[in-house]
Structure formats: structure tokens, C-alpha cells
Amino acid sequence: MVSKTYNYGVFGAGRIGKVHASIVREQGHQIVAIGDETQVAVTAAQDELALGEVRTFHDAAQMAQEMAGVMDAVIIASHTKDHARDALPFVKAKIPIYLEKPLTDGLQEAFAFVAAIGRDARQIQIGLQRRYDPALQYTREQMQAGVVGEVREIRCILRDQFPPPSTYSSRGLIIDMGIHVADEAIWLLDEFPNEVWASMHRTRGYASPIDEGGDTAFVTFTTASGVLGRLDLSRTHSSGYNNETYVIGTKGTIHTGRFAGYPGPIPVEVWQADGTLHPASKTFEMTYLKRPFPEFLPRFDTAYARAHQQFRADIERGAAFAVTQNEVLDAQVFAEAAHRSAQSGAAQSEGARYRLQRYDDLYEYRAACIANGLIDND
């Protein structure tokens, strides 16, 4: 249990940066510095969060230099393309980092960043909050206990009701949205895909302030053990935010997060081979929020809170973080393959299949990505 009050810096004062700042303040900690490339974002965050007199910055390196010894940790939630640039000064200053996903904008830069900071898992925790979600953790426990037998299929669904804000920066729907469920699938299965293919679509009646290449994507993958998987992504679920997971095994099925509106329950339904519910079925609750919130927050507020609690506990113990540059690199390789596959296909059709190989050695891993067409050879 962490008893000290942490002094946080936040660099990247957009939507998700403000979410993280609100959570750590609600947990009793302080924001002592706020930064963003634009003064408009800094001012808006100061006002919205009622931060009062705090240090403000427009450059991450300057924040790291001037706040070293003052800040206990930093949250980085800048644009994806700037993650590596903004995180590296804090790594050098030995300030623990909570970094929003993904690691970087592309694999070339991701491998270069990991090579620069090394594999040490005590530097950066990545904001892939599903690993801290009670319902999904319970799902994983049931899978590992063999309640549904050997896994045959997995389907991870992520559907937003609304498009992202105009300030959102993204290479594409699969890269930034899909990485959440790409990591979820790897984590739940404890297995890396060996083949990936995808399609991207533009559905009727959808308008967005940014172009993500489409508003709906379907990603199919296989694993070496024989699991068939699918990731369903969209910005067009008109009934509300929808996050579901199906795990189909040889002895039954787990259905987690059946859509139930807001603030509905989060059921983990474990179905047996005879079509009845297993006693292991369990229901979790969303968080009822009175303050303004992004659509995903009621579903994952508890997960975000637990992720930050664990982040501080691991800092205090000098322990490895649970999801780091190493885990997010795997999810990013998966998402990059799906993104490139979707780009290779004709409109509304399935794209090329990409082979994936994972290596512990970073240089072998990068070489495999080049060989498999995921990094343009330099």
C-alpha cells in the first residue's frame, strides 16, 4: 500500500491526459506540472481540472529537466507521433512514466525507442488498462482454470458511439483503437498471433472530424496453437459504448461485457456445453460518474484507477511494471500487420495476409518484421 502523496507531471493535456490527471487527483495525489505543445490545451486543462498555480510547459524535455527531483512520476498523453520524443527525456531523468498507448506512431520508431531505453520493465508503464479490468481479469482466470476447455475461438469487440474529437491524432482506426483489443487478445490467450489479415469499411451515416481510413474494421488472426481470433472495431455503435469478449472453448463459452447500456452491469457469462450457465458466472459493475466523461470511462474507470494504484505500488517496491514497452511492442506489431493488411485490400474487401514472428532478441524481432513486410527496410 502506497502511503505517500505523489507529485505528478502531465504532458499532453487533451482528453485522455485530463482523464488520467483527474483519476490520480481523486486518489489523493497532486499535479505539480502540466504541459502540452499548445497553450490552448494547457489553459483548458488548468481551468477544467481547477489546478490553480502549477508549472506549465510546452516542451517535455524542459519539464523533465526542470522538474527532476520535484516530480515523482509523469503521465504522458501527447499525440501518438510524439510519444517517443516526449518520453525519452523522462527516461533519462529516471522519472517513472505512465505512457498512453501506443508506444509510437510506427514500428520503425517503436523498435528504435525500445533499443534506446532497453528492455528494463521498471521505466515505463503503458496505458493498456484492460489488463487491470476486474471483469477481464476474471475472464482470464476462468480460461486458465480450464473452465471452458481448450480455446478454439476468441472475439474481442470494441465499438464507440461517437467519432473521436477533432484534436485526436491517428494513423488509422486499427493503429490507435485496435491496439487495445490486440493487447487484450494476446494477454487473454497468452499467445502471439502467427497470421493476421483485415478489412476496413466506411458505413453509411457516419461523419468524423478526422480521417482514420474508415469507421469499421474486422481483423482476423490465427495462433500457433490453432486458435482462430477476430477483433471487431467501429466508431458507429449508435446505442452506446460497447466492449465485449467471446471465448469459445471445447467445453463451453465465456461471454464478457454483454451490452447493457449505461450504467449497466458487466456480466461474465460462463456457458456450459449443455447450454446452461456455469456457477462461475459473475457480474461486475460500471462506475456511475456525475462529472463529464468520455464514453469509455464508466466501463473502464475502475481499470484506470487500479492501473495507477499498481503503477505507484511497483515504483515503491522497485518492481517491474505489468505492461511495459515490451508488451506494447507486441501489440503494436499485431496492429501494424492488421493496418497494412486493411490498406492492401480493395474497398470493403479482405486484405493481404501477414505472417508474424516474435523474438525475445530485439534485433531478431525487428529483422522478422522487415522480412514479413511490416517495416520498410532502411
**Residue pLDDT, tens place only, 314-364:** 999 999 999 999 999 999 999 999 999 999 976 666 789 999 999 999 999
The residue to which cell 510519444 is assigned: 83
Are 93 and 68 contacting, i.e. CB atoms less than 8 angstroms apart?
Answer: yes
Percent of the chain past pLDDT 70, that is, above it, reads 98
- The predicted model gives 372-378 an average pLDDT of 87
Could you tell me the residue ranges of all domains in the chain? 7-129+306-322, 133-297
CA 58 to chain centre: 25
The whole-number average pLDDT for the span 178-189 is 98
* pLDDT at residue 171, rounded to an integer: 87
3-state helix, strand, coil split of the chain in percent (to 5) is: 35, 20, 40
Q: Is the pLDDT of residue 1 over 60?
A: no
179-201 average pLDDT score: 97
Distances (CA, A) of 354 to 193, 212, 333, 363: 10, 21, 11, 19
Higher pLDDT, 305 or 261: 305
DSSP secondary structure of 135-158? HHHHHHHHHHTTTT-SEEEEEEEE
pLDDT tens per residue, range 44-61: 999 999 998 899 999 999
- Report domain 133-297's class: alpha beta
Handedness of CA 210, 205, 182, 194 (dihedral sign): negative
pLDDT score, position 349: 67
Confidence (pLDDT) at 209? 87
- Taking residues 80-107, what's their average pLDDT? 95
Is 210 a residue whose pLDDT tops 90? Answer: no
Task: Find, among 180, 192, 179, 200, the residue nearest to 222 by Cα.
Answer: 192
DSSP symbol at 274? T
d(CA 141, CA 300): 19
pLDDT of amino acid 378 = 63
How much is the pLDDT for 347?
62
What CATH superfamily classification does 7-129+306-322 receive?
NAD(P)-binding Rossmann-like Domain (3.40.50.720)
Buried/exposed code over 116-147 (b: 16+ C-beta within 10 A; e: otherwise): ebeeebebbbbbbbbbbbebbbbbbebbeeeb
Average pLDDT, the chain: 94
CA atoms of 35 and 266, how far apart (whole Å): 35
Angle at which helices 134-144 and 297-317 pack, to 10 degrees?
80
pLDDT digits over 221-255, tens only? Answer: 999 999 999 999 999 999 999 999 999 999 999 99
Mean pLDDT of 283-287: 96
Q: Which pTM value belongs to this model?
A: 0.95
Least confident range of 94-103, 114-123, 145-154, 349-358: 349-358
